[in-house]
Amino acid sequence: GQNIDQPTEMTATEGAIVQINCTYQTSGFNGLFWYQQHAGEAPTFLSYNVLDGLEEKGRFSSFLSRSKGYSYLLLKELQMKDSASYLCAVRDGNDYKLSFGAGTTVTVRA
Amino acid sequence: GAVVSQHPSRVICKSGTSVKIECRSLDFQATTMFWYRQFPKQSLMLMATSNEGSKATYEQGVEKDKFLINHASLTLSTLTVTSAHPEDSSFYICSARLSGTNEKLFFGSGTQLSVL
């Protein structure tokens, strides 16, 4: 299986930037996903990386380094509605199954 | 984007009863659906992979006779928690893969199961 680690909690102020790191160990890496999950709701897709580098999508960016088993999600211009749990998920092999990290709870303060 | 509907959103039942949870892909056909469970402040744990027209594949440690999965059509998968007990109380989430894509899964809104 995969060993996916990410910080438990992070706090930032409105308008600031926060970077959520994720490290993983897998034998057959086939993509890394970031999802946002509000309490009691289903996860919603944020980003997908399969090649090294930075993927930018509006206020959110995601970076991947396959050689280091490392990714980060960058949230810019934080808004109160960004307070949520952010899940790092790794796909191993070709069966489309995802293994999730425990999630990072981000709290945005005014 | 693709929509996955999950029903019910919340269920409270007595110990020993069975509960059925439905997961529907509303505007696409899903040959593969996945069932996850999530305890408070913990990660989503994959329970099983549901394939249309064939038996589900269960993850290690998941009792297939307790968590019955049926994927009778390309738009519907059901999870039945049989003889539920308080330790089965959890948040259950389904997800569906859009056929032909190699990327993201689409998640249902989840079902909060509370067994008294």
- Summarised one tens digit per residue, pLDDT across range A36-66 is 999 888 888 899 999 999 999 899 999 999 9
Is a pLDDT exceeding 70 seen at residue A9? yes
Which of A42, A45, A96 is nearest residue B97 as measured by Cβ atoms? Answer: A96
- The residues near B53 (Cβ < 8 Å, ≥ 6 apart) are B71, B72
DSSP helix, strand, coil percent of chain B (3-state; round to 5): 5, 55, 45
Is a pLDDT exceeding 70 seen at residue B78? yes
Q: What pairing do the DSSP bridges indicate for beta strands A104-109 and A9-13?
A: parallel
Query: Sign of the C-alpha dihedral, residues A6, B111, B82, B57?
Result: negative
Closest Cα partner for A5 from A80, A100, A95?
A100
Lowest mean pLDDT, pick from A70-74, B69-73, B96-100: B96-100
- B110 shares contact with chain A (CB less than 8 Å): yes
CA distances from B21 to A7, A105, B4, B50, B66 (A): 32, 28, 13, 13, 13
Rounded (5°) CA angle A94-A96-A18: 115
Mean pLDDT of chain A: 93
Q: What pairing do the DSSP bridges indicate for beta strands B10-13 and B111-115?
A: parallel
Q: What confidence tens digit (pLDDT) does each residue in B16-73 have?
A: 999 999 999 998 888 889 999 998 878 889 999 998 888 899 999 999 999 999 988 8
pLDDT grade, residue B1 (50/70/90)?
A: low
DSSP-assigned beta bridge partners for residue A104:
A86
Interface test with A, best of B4, B44, B90 (most A CBs within 10 A): B44
